[in-house]
Amino acid sequence: MQNEQRFFARAAVESPVNRWDWALLPVVLATLVLLAYGAMGMARPFHLGDPIALSLDPWQLPYYFLRTTLRMAVAMVASLLFAGCFAVLAAKNATAERVLVPLLDILQSIPILGFLSITVTGFIALFPGNLFGVECAAIFAIFTSQAWNMAFSLYQSLRTVPAELQEAARVFQLSGWQRFWRLELPFAMPGLLWNMMMSMSGGWFFVVASEAISVSNQSIKLPGVGSYIAMAIEARDLGAIGWAIACMLGAILLYDQLLFRPLVAWADKFRFEEGGSGAAPQSWLLTWLRRTRGTQALGAWLVGQLERTLVLFHRRHDGTSIRARPRATTWPVQRAWDALIAAVVLYALWSLLRFVHAEVGWAEVGHVLWLGCLTLLRVSVLIALAAVVWVPVGVWIGMNPRWSGRLQAVAQFLAAFPANLLFPVVVMALVHWRLNPNIWLSPLMVFGTQWYILFNVIAGASSIPTELRFAAQNLGLSGWLKWRRFLLPAVFPSFVTGALTASGGSWNASIVSEYVTWGDTTLQAEGLGSYIAHMTAVGDFPRIALGIGVMCLFVMGLNHLVWRRLYRMAEDRMHF
C-alpha cells in the first residue's frame, strides 16, 4: 500500500492531472451542484399543516427522483455503519450476541408503519419549523428497509470465515482490528455488496410508505417518487404510474452503472482462491477512474490519511501483545448480564400483560393470534416456493459472471418494483373474475421480498473458489449428487441469510399486500397485515400496538426455532 501511495504521489508531482481527470471534472461538479440543490429543498421552513405543492406532471419526476435518491443515499450510509457495528459486536462477543441478535429480530419484525408512527412526531419536535424533521423521519423509515439484511449478511460472513484463513490470521498474530480489515471484511465484501443492492431495491419497494407520512391526522407527502406513486394511485392515473415505472427503471440503471457495477468489479479482487476467476466483472466507470492520475493520487492520499488515523486510534493493538488477544468473559460478569436480560424481559412481559388487560382485552388477543397464524401460513408457503424457484437460478447466475453482469440491473429493477404499482392490475382482475382475496392477494407479499433469496444466493455462488469448481468437475459430480455435496453446502449460509430476511420482509409486506386500495376500491385478505393496515387507517393506536407486538412475536419465534438453527448448521457443517 505504501509503495502504491508513493507511486501515485510521484505521478502527481510529475503531471498532476491528465485528460481523464479533466473529463471527470464536469461530472463531479454537476453531481455536487445537484446534491446541493436537492439538500436545500430538504431543509426549508415548514410548519405542520402547511401544504407542500406536488404535481403529477412528468416533468417534475427528475426533481422528485433527486430528492428520493438523497434520502436513500443517507439511509444507505447509516445502514452500512449500523451493519458494521452490529456484525462485529454480535460475531465477536458471545454476551452481546445474546442481546443483539434477538433485538435485530424484533427490529426486523416491526413494520415501517410502526416505526413511522413512533418516530415521526419526535423528529418533527427535534427540528421545529423546518421540513428537515419530516425528512429525517422518511430517511429513518428507508433505513429500516435497508439495514437489517445488510447486518445479517455481514454477521453471517464473519461467522463463516474459512478455518484455514482464521488459522493463517493466528499464525501472523493479527489483532482483532487487523483481522477485521485484512481478512473478515474482504471475505464478506461480495455478499455485502449484493445485499447493498437488495437494500437499495428494498428502499424503492417501501418508498411510498416512507414519503407519504400521516401524523396528527394529517397527511404529509414529501417531494419524491414515492409520493408521486401514492398520488397516482389515489387519482387512479395509469399514465402517471407508467411515468413512475419509467423513472424507477432509469434510476436503477443509473446507480447500477455509477455505483454498484464499479463496486462489484472492484470487489472481485477479494475473492479467496488460488486461481483467478474465469471472467472478471467489468465496469467502464472503474476503468475510467483507473486511467485518471490526479483522482487516483487524491484517493491514495485520502486512504493514507484514514489509515494513519486508524493506526493512531488503535496503536495499543500492535497485533503481537497480550492485549490483542480476546479476553474470556468471567463467570460473575456473565451471570450478572444474564440476570439483567431476564429482568428486562420480565418487565416487558409484565407491561405487555397490563396493556392487553387495560386496552384491548384477551378476546382481541386471541383473534389477532389467529390472524397471525393465517399470515404465517402464507409466508411459509411463499418462501418455500420462492426458494425452489430462485436457488437454482441464483446458483446459475452466480457461477456465470458474464450473465451476472447482464442480469444485475434487471434483478435490481424487479426487486425495487413496489407492490403498490401492481394494485391496478390486481384489483381489476380480482373484481372482474370475483377471485378470493385471501388466496390471490398472497403473492404480493413475496413479490418484493423473494429477491433477498436470489441476491444472497448469487453472492454465495459467485464467491465459490474456481479451484473448487474444477475439483467438482474432475470428480464427475452431476445431478443431485452435485447439489448435495457441492452446490448446496457452498451457498447454504447465504441462502439462510436471504431466506431469513425474505421471511421478515414478507411479514412487513403483508401490511400493503393484504389491504389493497385502488381509488375508492378496497380489497382485504384476512390476516395480520390487513389488521394492522386497517387499524392504522382508522387510527386505533392500542390495536396497532397489539398487531405490531404479535407480528414481532411470530417473527422472533420463527427466527429462533427455524432460521437460528439453520445458521448454526451453516456454521458447523454447511460451508467451505
Residue 458 has pLDDT above 90, yes or no: no
DSSP-derived pairing of the beta strands 521-524 and 515-518:
antiparallel
Identify the band that residue 76 occupies on the pLDDT scale cut at 50, 70 and 90: very high
What is the per-residue pLDDT for 322? 34
In a domain, 16, yes or no: no
In a domain, 306, yes or no: no
In a domain, 82, yes or no: yes
151-185 pLDDT, tens per residue? 988 988 888 787 788 888 888 887 777 788 888 88
Q: CA-CA distance, 441 to 515, in Å (whole number)?
A: 9
Task: Decide which of 519 and 551 is more confident.
Answer: 551
What is the per-residue pLDDT for 419? 63
What single-letter DSSP state applies at residue 556? Answer: H
In a domain, 352, yes or no: no
Residue 391 has pLDDT above 90, yes or no: yes
Q: CA-CA distance, 205 to 141, in Å (whole number)?
A: 12
The packing angle between helices 19-42 and 294-313, to 10°, is: 60
Q: CA-CA distance, 264 to 171, in Å (whole number)?
A: 30
Q: Which of 256, 229, 203 is nearest to 58 (CA)?
A: 229
177-212 pLDDT, tens per residue? 778 888 888 888 888 887 888 788 777 767 777 887
Q: What is the mean predicted confidence (pLDDT) over 435-453?
A: 82
What single-letter DSSP state applies at residue 326? Answer: P
Distances (CA, A) of 41 to 44, 224, 449: 6, 11, 32
Residue 265 has pLDDT above 70, yes or no: yes
Residue with cell 465477536: 92
What single-letter DSSP state applies at residue 455? Answer: H
CB contact burial 470-485 (16+ within 10 A = b; e otherwise): eebeeeebeeeeebee
Q: Which of 222, 244, 247 is nearest to 235 (CA)?
A: 244
What is the per-residue pLDDT for 12? 47
What is the per-residue pLDDT for 353? 74
What is the per-residue pLDDT for 317? 45
Identify the band that residue 392 occupies on the pLDDT scale cut at 50, 70 and 90: very high
Residue 75 has pLDDT above 90, yes or no: yes
The answer to whether 68 touches 160, Cβ cutoff 8 Å, is no
The answer to whether 145 touches 202, Cβ cutoff 8 Å, is yes
Residue 371 has pLDDT above 90, yes or no: yes
Q: CA-CA distance, 69 to 76, in Å (whole number)?
A: 10
- Report residue 569 as a C-alpha cell: 448448521
* In 176-237, alpha helices (H): 176-179, 185-205, 207-211, 225-235
In a domain, 5, yes or no: no
The answer to whether 153 touches 82, Cβ cutoff 8 Å, is no
What single-letter DSSP state applies at residue 324? Answer: G
In a domain, 3, yes or no: no
Beta bridge partners of 518: 521
Task: Decide which of 503 and 314 is more confident.
Answer: 503
- For the ranges 121-125, 252-256, 490-494, the one whose mean pLDDT is highest: 490-494
CB contact burial 219-252 (16+ within 10 A = b; e otherwise): ebbbbbbbbbbbbbbeeebeebbebbeebbeebb
18-54 pLDDT, tens per residue? 788 888 888 888 888 888 888 888 888 888 777 788 8
* In 93-181, alpha helices (H): 94-109, 112-126, 132-159, 163-171, 176-179
Other CB atoms within a 10 A radius of the CB of residue 469 amount to 19
Q: What is the percent of the chain with per-residue pLDDT over 70, rounded to a whole number? A: 84
Dihedral sign of CA atoms 281, 284, 290, 294 in order: negative
Lowest-confidence pick of 94-103, 230-239, 337-346:
337-346
- Write down the mean pLDDT value for the chain: 79
How many residues can be counted in the chain?
576
- Report residue 449 as a C-alpha cell: 421480498
Q: CA-CA distance, 428 to 424, in Å (whole number)?
A: 6
In a domain, 351, yes or no: no
What is the per-residue pLDDT for 320? 39
Total count of domains within the chain = 1
Lowest-confidence pick of 228-237, 326-335, 487-496:
326-335
3-state DSSP call for residue 521? strand
The CATH number that applies at residue 232 is 1.10.3720.10
What is the per-residue pLDDT for 6? 56
Measured CA angle at 405 (ends 401, 407), to 5 deg:
110
In a domain, 338, yes or no: no
What is the per-residue pLDDT for 374? 93
pTM: 0.77
What is the per-residue pLDDT for 306? 67
- SS3 string of 267-316? HHHHCCCCCCCCCCCCCHHHHHHHHCCHHHHHHHHHHHHHHHHHHHHCCC
The answer to whether 190 touches 462, Cβ cutoff 8 Å, is yes
Dihedral sign of CA atoms 333, 335, 340, 344 in order: positive
Q: What is the mean predicted confidence (pLDDT) over 135-149?
A: 88
Domain that holds residue 408: 43-291+361-572
CA–chain centroid gap for 226, Å, is 18
Other CB atoms within a 10 A radius of the CB of residue 266 amount to 16
